[in-house]
Amino acid sequence: MSAGFVVVLAILAFVAITAWKGVRIVPQGEEWIVERLGKYHGTLSPGLNIIIPYLDDIAYKLITKDIILDVQEQEVITRDNAVILTNAIAFIKVTDPVKAVYGVTDFSEAIRNMIMTTLRSIVGEMDLNEALSSRDKIKLRLRESIADEAIDWGLTVKSVEIQDIKPSESMQRAMEMQASADRERNAVVTRAEGQKQAMILEAEARLESAKRDATAQVTLAEASAESIRRVTASFGNEPAPMMYLLGEKYIGAMRKLGESQNAKVVVLPADLQDALKGLFAKSRG
């Protein structure tokens, strides 16, 4: 093999390698950053692209599709010193590849750390109950807070979702103890209120009963007085009817006394008629 042939083969090989290195096919959904002699030269779009071998270099290959960033779980202290655990997920998109590679060292890590820092700041301004019940509010404020910085880095924050927000284990135990104490206190208050209402109703019942008894006694007294007036008006000074009525009441009282379980012996006076006369005489006197 002659030296000339070897030179020709070397030249052909050099040309082939140069052509291969100069042709770049960029996949859809990606953009490549080209540097010439260490300096930014241009951006290759999806499809067939030609660069100058040995002078141009593919420095960065960026994905222009939506990127999912998982923000790890972290402890956050609320305004009332409660510890909660929260994590998030962000959806970002590279809109300016030059800013994305030259504006920050690692845009994914930068966005992730910014979300963690901003999340701590937002939740730190809330009480525990507000933080646990304001997921949408936190998400909105979080997206607004990092949007401007993301634009400076050539990124668009499409969405930030709070995956989970919950009290820490120690905080959960404390909340369970507090809830148990609240339930016990409510039960005590309910029982006390029930007893209070029962006592009020019982007192009202006694008052109403006393009023009715007093009314009944007044009515009976008025009836007795009216009865006496009528008897007096009917019989005048005749003692016999009055004695009859008094004797009837006396006998009725003796009957009730005899029917009583505590009464063993009932003694009736032998001179019942004289006794009634004496009563009648005293009543007239």
Please say if the pLDDT value at position 253 is more than 60: yes
The answer on 129 and 37 residing in a single domain is: no
User: Considering the domain boundaries, does residue 117 fall inside one?
Assistant: yes
- Of 3-12, 146-155, 261-270, which one has max mean pLDDT? 146-155
| Structural domain for 216, as ranges | 211-284
CATH for 166: 3.30.479.30
Structural domains counted in the chain: 3
Last residue of a domain, one of 173, 198, 221: 173
* pLDDT at 236 (0 to 100): 61
Please say if the pLDDT value at position 223 is more than 50: yes
The answer on 216 and 143 residing in a single domain is: no
The answer on 43 and 18 residing in a single domain is: yes
What is the rounded distance in angstroms from the CA atom of residue 59 to the CA atom of residue 40?
A: 9
Q: Report residue 134's pLDDT band, with 50, 70 and 90 as the boundaries.
A: confident
The answer on 162 and 83 residing in a single domain is: yes
Q: Which residue's structure tokens are 């909105």? A: 140
User: Considering the domain boundaries, does residue 190 fall inside one?
Assistant: no
* pLDDT at 30 (0 to 100): 92
The answer on 150 and 71 residing in a single domain is: yes
Cα 120 to Cα 82, 89, 171, 222: the distances in Å are 12, 15, 17, 86
Picking from 127, 140, 119, the residue whose alpha carbon sits closest to that of residue 76 is 119
64 versus 221: which is more confidently predicted? 64
Please say if the pLDDT value at position 285 is more than 50: no
Q: Report residue 273's pLDDT band, with 50, 70 and 90 as the boundaries.
A: low
Task: Give the DSSP H or E segment for 98.
Answer: helix 97-102
* pLDDT at 32 (0 to 100): 93
Q: Which residue's structure tokens are 């009515």? A: 219
Please say if the pLDDT value at position 258 is more than 60: yes
Question: Is the Cβ–Cβ distance between 165 and 85 less than 8 Å?
Answer: yes
Q: In percent, how much of the chain has pLDDT > 90?
A: 19
The answer on 220 and 155 residing in a single domain is: no
pLDDT (average), residues 113-129: 89
Write b or e for each residue in 208-236: b if 16 or more Cβ atoms lie within 10 A of its Cβ, otherwise e: eeeeeeeeeeeeeeeeeeeeeeeeeeeee
The answer on 160 and 87 residing in a single domain is: yes
The answer on 48 and 71 residing in a single domain is: no
User: Considering the domain boundaries, does residue 36 fall inside one?
Assistant: yes
Label residue 204 exposed, middle or buried (CB < 10 Å: 0-12, 13-18, 19+). Answer: exposed
Q: Report residue 239's pLDDT band, with 50, 70 and 90 as the boundaries.
A: low
Please say if the pLDDT value at position 103 is more than 60: yes
pTM: 0.56
Mean residue pLDDT across the chain: 80
* pLDDT at 282 (0 to 100): 46
* pLDDT at 283 (0 to 100): 47
4 versus 271: which is more confidently predicted? 4
Residue range 159-207, pLDDT digits in tens: 888 888 888 776 666 666 777 777 778 878 888 888 888 888 888 888 8
Question: Is the Cβ–Cβ distance between 92 and 150 less than 8 Å?
Answer: yes
